[in-house]
Amino acid sequence: EAQVTQNPRYLITVTGKKLTVTCSQNMNHEYMSWYRQDPGLGLRQIYYSMNVEVTDKGDVPEGYKVSRKEKRNFPLILESPSPNQTSLYFCASRRQGGGNTIYFGEGSWLTVV
């Protein structure tokens, strides 16, 4: 089954404690991306990757890092989380090309206290 898998799905953490949200896709997609969803703001892109070892900033990259060492994996790293990073996070992937359908993971609820 084609899918994008994120872990953890739910996490409560404390300010400053580094955390990683993993993302894996089994569709051999070149393009992967991270979004955060906040009430009234829709989905905002954090980082994206066009292929292995190629990453770029989205609209709200501050406080986040990513890496793309393998085609299937695209982890999101919060080096020093702060309360304003409390949000619902989605990983997504698609084949290269702006018209192709994006497939989303089920989301990761992150609370920073």
Answer yes or no: are the C-beta atoms of 33 and 58 closer than 8 Å: yes
By CB under 8 A, the residues from 8 to 37 that bind another protein are 31, 33, 35
> By C-alpha distance, which of 89, 94, 57, 51 is closest to 70?
51
The set of residues, in sequence order, having a beta carbon less than 8 Å from that of 29 and lying 6+ positions away, is: 71, 93, 94, 95, 103
Query: For residues 14 and 52, which CB has a smaller minimum distance to another protein in the complex?
Result: 52
Site string for another protein, 48-67 (x = CB under 8 A): x-x-----x-x---------
Query: For residues 15 and 48, which CB has a smaller minimum distance to another protein in the complex?
Result: 48
Retrieve residue 102's tokens: 């994006």
Region of 42 please: left (phi>0), alpha (psi -120 to 50) or beta.
left
40 binds another protein (CB under 8 A): yes
45 binds another protein (CB under 8 A): yes
Among 17, 41, 52, 83, binds another protein (CB under 8 A): 41
Positions that interact with another protein (CB under 8 A): 4, 31, 33, 35, 40-45, 48, 50, 56, 58, 90, 96, 98-99, 101-102, 104-107
